[in-house]
Amino acid sequence: MADARLSLDAFDPAAEIAAFNARHRSAGGIVTFVGQVRDSGGVEALELQHYEPMTLPGMEELARITQARWPLEGLLILHRSGVMYPGDAIVLVCAAARHRRDAFAAADFAMDHLKSESWFWKREKTATGWRWIEPRPEDHEDISRWRA
Partner 1 sequence: MAKLVFMGRLEDVAGTAEMSVSPGPVEQVLASLDPALAVQLLGEKVRMAHNGRLLTDVGGVVLANGDELAFLPPVSGG
Task: Give the nearest distance from C-beta 139 to partner 1 in angstroms.
Answer: 7
Task: Give the nearest distance from C-beta 52 to a copy of itself in angstroms.
Answer: 27
Report if residue 118 touches a copy of itself, rule: CB under 8 A: no
Report if residue 139 touches partner 1, rule: CB under 8 A: yes
Q: What is the largest CA-CA distance in the chain?
A: 50
The residue within the footprint of partner 1, chosen from 100, 126, 138, 144 (CB under 8 A), is 100
Task: Give the nearest distance from C-beta 90 to partner 1 in angstroms.
Answer: 6
Between 18 and 54, whose beta carbon lies closer to a copy of itself?
A: 18
Report if residue 133 touches partner 1, rule: CB under 8 A: yes
The residue within the footprint of partner 1, chosen from 45, 117, 125, 143 (CB under 8 A), is 117
Residue 46: CB atoms within 10 A of its CB come to 22
Give the interface with partner 1 as residue ranges (CB under 8 A): 35, 48-49, 51, 53-54, 57, 79, 90-91, 100, 111, 114-123, 132-136, 139
